[in-house]
Structure 1
């Protein structure tokens, strides 16, 4: 009898066409789900007969309670090589092998700049007006050349964002708890003396930190109040780094010029969520890593992970 592989959150229905699954189809039946399962009960029901699950990034949590309800599960493949919503200890206790895939850093960098440019030049407002027969020009764009880009985090993503900022003629500063001046100099940036200094002096602040106990809620009411009223805040990293209620309040009172978000505490974002109607907000449905090349990499590596697992030699193990 063939094993059953469930592919979760295949919103665009492309999981089975973005890779060649034929190497495993003689032993594995692949079923993809386009709908998101919002509760553990729904997820446990959908995956009851799954031996293998492929999940994208951190869209779906796999706590100990879920592993206990999936006795058939033997392999969990998560795209990327880091996943904070999988209980790896519970997976091991239940005999589930967890593997990852490669992930390209460029798609989220490109989306970061799409949000920055969209905010600075009022693209959504102007496009909507043009298509609806509204006013011809109603906004005055904010210049990026000569302005300061402040980066929270200067790793492989932040470093690439920095280089694009320099290409636009921006002055780039960066801060993180362990950032060195030498690392900042590598990408042409300067290290801010403190988080507070970066927030006070930047025209655009972009978040590229890993979520941890140190960074959770890093930007709260006090920190957001340090931003200039003409500044933009962009978060394509993790929603919990920015206090959602504090950001909503800042947007509603016009304390900042705008925000660009690609990540949310609850995904998909509920239809009645206040962020959907917040002013000065340009938001996308977590598209940072959603690109053709990245999907081919995710699903192609997932097939390789399944092949290796079936051969008794799992690769790219996480835990």
Structure 2
């Protein structure tokens, strides 16, 4: 009998098209799930007869309470080489091998700028009005040239965002706990003396920090209150870094000019979630890493991982 492999959250229905699964056809049967499971019970029920699971990034959690209820599960593959929602100790206890894939070739730099530019030039408002036969011009764009772009994090993604900001003629400042003045200068940025100073000084703030103990809830109501009423905030990093309720309140009440979000506390968003109706909020459904090149890497290496596991020599093991 062939093993059964579940491909989770294949919203676009392209997981089997972007990699050559034929190499596994005689040993593995693939099953795709195009909708997200709302809770652990639904997930466990769907995976009851599954031997291998391929999951994208950190969309689906695999805590001990799930792994203990999946006795057939043998191999769990996650995209990327870090995953904070898999209980590795429980996986080992239940005999589940966990593997990853190469990190994304295309980080969400482009999407960060898509959101920032969309906010600055009122693209959603103007596009909607134009298509609906509404008024011709109703917004006045925010200039980028000469304005200050504040980056929380200047790593692999933040440094690339900085280069684009410089190309637009922006002044770039950056802050993170261990960022040095020398490293900031390497990327054309000024080192902000503190996070609070960066928030108060910036016209646009973009979040590019890893989620951890020190960054969870880093931007709460008090920190968001430091932003100028003309400032915009963009988060394509991790939802938990920014207090979502506090941010939505700041946008609704006009205490900041707007926000761009690609990550949320709850994903997918329920139909009645306030993110869907908050004005001056430009939101995308976690598209940061959703590109053809990235998906070819993820699914192509997932196939390699499965083949290696079946041959008795697992590769790219996590953690």
TM-score (norm: length of structure 2): 0.99
**2:7 matched residue in structure 1:** 7
**Are 1:307 and 2:313 matched, yes or no?**
no
Partner Cα distance (1:127, 1:105) in 2:
31
Which stretch shows the higher mean deviation, 18-27 or 231-240? 18-27
Matches within 5 A, 1:88-167: 88-104=88-104, 106-167=106-167
Q: Given that residues 19 and 299 in structure 1 are in contact (C-alpha distance below 8 angstroms), is that contact kept between their aligned partners in structure 2?
A: yes
Residue aligning to 1:69: 69
Once the two structures are superposed, residues 195-225 of structure 1 have per-residue CA deviations (whole angstroms, 9 ceiling, x without a partner) of: 0010000010000111111001100010000
User: Matched residue pairs, number?
Assistant: 319
- Aligned to 2:83, the other structure's residue is in SS state coil
Matched, 1:246 2:220: no
Contact 1:57 1:79 in 2 (8 A): yes
Rounded Cα–Cα distance in structure 1 between residues aligned with 2:22 and 2:105: 28
For residues 5-49 of structure 1, the C-alpha deviation after alignment (integer angstroms, 9 at most, x for no partner) is 000000000000011111111111011100111111110011011
The separation in 1 between residues aligned to 2:105 and 2:153, in whole angstroms, is 14
C-alpha RMSD over aligned residues = 0.8
Unaligned runs of 5+ in 1: none
For the Cα contact (< 8 Å) 2:105–2:294, is it kept in 1? no
Q: SS where residue 30 of structure 2 aligns?
A: strand
Cα distance in 2 for partners of 1:237, 1:39 equals 24
Report the 3-state secondary structure (helix = DSSP H, G, I; strand = E; otherwise coil) of the residue aligned with 2:166: helix
CA distance in 2, matches of 1:305, 1:249: 44
Q: What SS does the corresponding residue of 2:108 show, helix, strand or coil?
A: helix
Separation of aligned partners in 1, 2:180 and 2:106:
23
Q: Is the 8 A contact 2:230 2:257 kept in 1?
A: yes
Structure 2 residue aligned with 1:22: 22
2:281 matched residue in structure 1: 281
How far 1:105 sits from its partner (Å)? 5.0
Structure 2 distance, partners of 1:63, 1:33, is 20
For structure 2, the residue ranges without an aligned partner over 5 or more in a row are: none
Aligned residue for 1:160, secondary structure, equals helix
The DSSP-based 3-state class of the residue aligned with 1:23 is: helix
> Could you tell me whether the CA contact under 8 Å between 2:152 and 2:208 is conserved in 1?
yes
Offset at residue 104 of structure 1 (A) = 2.3
Residues 44 and 70 in structure 1, CA contact (< 8 A), matched pair in contact too: yes
Residue 34 (structure 2) pairs with residue 44 (structure 1): no
What are the superposed Cα offsets for residues 162-183 of structure 1, whole Å, 9 maximum, x if unpaired?
A: 1111111111111011111121
Query: Map of 1:186-197 to 2, 5 A cutoff?
Result: 186-197=186-197
Runs of 4+ in 1 over 4 A off after TM superposition: none
SS at match of 1:162: helix
1:173 to 2:173 alignment: yes
Residue 225 of structure 2 corresponds to 225
| C-alpha contact 1:121 1:140 (8 A) present in aligned 2 | yes
The answer for the alignment partner of 2:202 in structure 1 is 202
In 2: Cα distance, 1:193 partner to 1:126 partner: 38
Cα offset, 1:188, TM superposition:
1.0
State the Cα deviation string for residues 114-169 of structure 1 (Å, max 9, x = none).
Answer: 00000000000000000000011100000111111100111101111111111111
Distance in 1 (CA, whole Å) between partners of 2:191 and 2:280 is 29
Q: Are the counterparts in 2 of residues 106 and 157 from structure 1 also a CA contact under 8 Å?
A: no
Match of 1:83 in 2: 83
Q: Secondary structure at the match of 2:183?
A: helix
Whole-Å separation in 1 of the counterparts to 2:305 and 2:247: 40
TM-score using structure 1 length: 0.99
Report the alpha carbon displacement of residue 103 of structure 1 after superposing the two structures with TM.
2.5
